[in-house]
């Protein structure tokens, strides 16, 4: 079963430029689409430390892993420095951060990432922390408006938050289909008929809030730079403007401080051919740099 199609694979290999004997960290291992190709380039002695936050995904990979040069860890990548130290991995030649949620999470996890399925409102990548159900049923209207506006860039944030607060007085909102129904009542008919599904931005905002995605990215980027060898490469693939903004700001700051040489003056995006084969690659943006 193919769980996930790695995005910008050719470009990741180009900008990480893996060579025989080098060591890499894949901070968002998923199902290893990028890492398996990197392993081919760095054999026989190069190693990959693959970090995966979702226990189910980690267990599937661990069960199938026969490669002694692939070290798999179930953890949140915000603990990068600790994970590297614990596994005696030392300084590394390259780090990949592919920030997209895998197809498996939407299609097979049962965690409520997709508004096209009737599932419990969980949305948590790891087993720790809050769930989307808790956010929807306990956060104030003001806090809901804030995340829908800031994380989802949703123009009807206020009316959606207001309708959620009205609905949860009658019954607890526990499933994705319940939430989609509430959103549908909150937005104009013309908004419901657009090409992009009317629940897309609300679900994105919830996922970001539940998994603390933006703050986690702010935390990991300085760590990634610190553990890289001089000449080591960092590649970041983001899937929405908020993540890309953080990556852009990080690279710009470290270029000014002469800690990084940028490899991508503008973000690299998927080719027309790749988008045709994998529509989810449409929103991917890749930025890369070399540690000085």
User: What confidence tens digit (pLDDT) does each residue in 166-224 have?
Assistant: 999 999 999 999 999 999 999 999 999 998 999 999 999 999 999 999 999 999 999 99
CATH topology of domain 9-104+213-291: Rossmann fold (3.40.50)
User: Given a cut of 50, is residue 26 above it in pLDDT?
Assistant: yes
Mean pLDDT of 76-96: 95
**CATH 3.40.50.150 in the chain, residues?**
9-104+213-291
Region of 237 please: left (phi>0), alpha (psi -120 to 50) or beta. beta
CATH topology of domain 109-211: DNA polymerase; domain 1 (1.10.150)
Residue 255 confidence (pLDDT): 96
The predicted-structure confidence for 214-256, as pLDDT tens digits, reads as follows 999 999 999 999 999 999 999 999 999 999 999 999 999 999 9
For residue 69, CA distances in Å to 43, 59, 142 come to: 8, 18, 49
Residue 104 confidence (pLDDT): 83
Residue 142 confidence (pLDDT): 98
User: Given a cut of 80, is residue 3 above it in pLDDT?
Assistant: no
Per-residue pLDDT band for 1 (boundaries 50, 70, 90) equals very low
Which contiguous run of DSSP H or E holds residue 135?
A: helix 132-138
Mean pLDDT of 111-116: 93
Residue percentage of the chain with pLDDT more than 90:
90
Per-residue pLDDT band for 129 (boundaries 50, 70, 90) equals confident
The predicted-structure confidence for 50-83, as pLDDT tens digits, reads as follows 999 999 999 999 998 999 999 999 999 999 999 9
Per-residue pLDDT band for 106 (boundaries 50, 70, 90) equals confident
Mean pLDDT of 33-51: 97
**Neighbour count for residue 73 (Cβ, 10 Å):** 20
Per-residue pLDDT band for 108 (boundaries 50, 70, 90) equals confident
Per-residue pLDDT band for 262 (boundaries 50, 70, 90) equals very high
252-277 in b/e form (b: 16+ CB < 10 A) is: eebeeeebbeebbeebbbbeeebbee
Q: At what angle do helices 200-211 and 176-186 cross, to 10 degrees?
A: 130
Per-residue pLDDT band for 4 (boundaries 50, 70, 90) equals low
Mean pLDDT of 5-25: 96
Rounded to whole angstroms, the Cα distance separating 72 from 264 reads: 29
User: Given a cut of 70, is residue 269 above it in pLDDT?
Assistant: yes
Mean pLDDT of 160-164: 98
Mean pLDDT of 76-99: 95
Residue 114 confidence (pLDDT): 93
Question: Per DSSP, what are the bridge partners of residue 120?
Answer: 175
The pair phi, psi for residue 24, each rounded to 5°, is -130, 155
Q: Which residue has the higher pLDDT, 91 or 212?
A: 212
| Residues 246 and 217 sit within 8 Å (Cβ to Cβ) | yes
Strand duo 260-262 + 70-74: pairing: unpaired
**CATH 1.10.150.170 in the chain, residues?**
109-211
């Amino acid at each position: 079963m193919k769980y996930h199609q790695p995005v910008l694979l050719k470009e990741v290999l180009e900008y990480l430029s893996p060579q025989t004997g080098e060591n890499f960290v894949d901070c968002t291992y998923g199902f290893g689409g990028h890492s398996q190709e990197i392993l081919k380039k760095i054999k026989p002695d190069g190693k990959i430390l693959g970090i995966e936050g979702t226990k189910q995904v980690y267990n599937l990979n661990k069960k199938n892993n026969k490669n002694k040069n692939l070290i798999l860890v179930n953890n949140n990548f915000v603990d990068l420095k600790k994970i590297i130290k614990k596994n005696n991995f030392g300084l590394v030649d390259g780090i990949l951060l592919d920030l997209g949620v895998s197809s498996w999470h939407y299609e097979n996890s049962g965690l409520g990432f997709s508004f096209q399925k009737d599932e419990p409102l969980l949305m948590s990548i790891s087993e720790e922390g809050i769930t989307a159900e808790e956010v929807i049923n306990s956060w104030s209207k003001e806090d809901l408006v804030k995340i829908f506006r800031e994380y989802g860039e949703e123009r009807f944030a206020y009316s959606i938050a207001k309708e959620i607060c009205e609905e949860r007085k009658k019954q607890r909102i526990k499933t994705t289909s319940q939430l989609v129904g509430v959103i549908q009542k909150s937005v104009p008919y013309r908004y419901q008929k657009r090409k992009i599904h009317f629940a897309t931005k609300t679900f994105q905002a919830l996922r970001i809030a539940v998994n603390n995605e933006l703050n986690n990215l702010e935390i990991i980027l300085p760590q990634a730079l610190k553990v890289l060898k001089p000449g080591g490469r960092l590649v970041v693939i983001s899937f929405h403007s908020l993540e890309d903004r953080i990556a852009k700001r990080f690279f710009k700051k470290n270029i000014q401080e002469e800690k990084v040489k940028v490899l991508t003056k503008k973000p690299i995006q998927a080719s027309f051919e790749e988008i045709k084969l994998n529509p989810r690659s449409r929103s991917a943006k890749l930025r890369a740099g070399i540690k000085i």
